[in-house]
Amino acid sequence: MTDLRSQLRERRQALSFEDRRRKSLAISEHLNHYLPFVRTDNVALYYSTPEEVDTTGLIMTAAEQGKTIYLPVVNTSEIRSDAMLFARFDPGTTGMKKNRYGIPEPDVAVDECLRSDELSFICVPMVGFNQRCDRIGMGAGYYDRALENNGVRKPHLVGLAFRCQNAEFEPAPHDVPMDAVVTEDGVLKGVKSGQHPH
């Protein structure tokens, strides 16, 4: 999986700035017409790294639509170093800090954070995906651990990726499948073995 992850990252890095910008806009447009996203009143997004699908516009659009936005928090000192929770984010008012990866996250106390099963819709970054909407992450396992909760309520999980990140692979047992993956081509819906139909 490490070799495949490297290949997929290279494919993504090969996109020009203009290609990435254009494809990111198309992905945002597809997500904004995806019914589960339209219907949700709260959504977890993330600040993208330069090589990922650009989520800046998505965050602003979700705020303009009146959705309550949450962002991942991975290095709050009060929780395990490998844990990830979600903190409310109000553009322009929430204090931010950079986590150990240089990604902005809300500067909040752990008791202000939510677990994934307290949210209804989560957008997930990915290095790769297959036609079944299984996901390859960066390798640290933050999202897999955060999403493997045993809560009764399961959020709708949507990966954001470029078409070039599609590959055939078998997921590891701990990998959490997505309900859908949104690329510049549209929405690919996954089959999650009836785990939580939407």
User: Around Cβ 72, how many Cβ atoms within 10 Å?
Assistant: 24
Going by C-alpha positions, the residue among 147, 38, 46, 124 that lies closest to residue 89 is 46
Q: Which domains, from first to last, does the chain contain?
A: 2-171 (3.40.50.10420)
Report the length, in residues, of the chain: 198
Instruction: Count CA atoms within 13 Å of residue 32 on its CB side.
Output: 16
Inter-residue contact 184 to 149 (CB < 8 Å): no
Place of tokens 């990830």: 84
Per residue of the chain (198 residues), what is the pLDDT tens digit? 679 999 999 999 999 999 999 999 999 999 999 999 999 999 999 999 999 999 999 999 999 999 999 999 985 555 555 578 999 999 989 999 998 888 899 998 888 899 898 999 999 999 999 999 999 988 888 888 888 865 667 899 999 999 999 999 998 888 889 999 999 999 999 876 444 333
- Residue 124: both structure tokens together: 């997930």
User: Can you say how many angstroms the Cα of residue 60 is from the centroid of all Cα atoms in its chain?
Assistant: 16
Closest CA to 21 of 46, 57, 74: 57
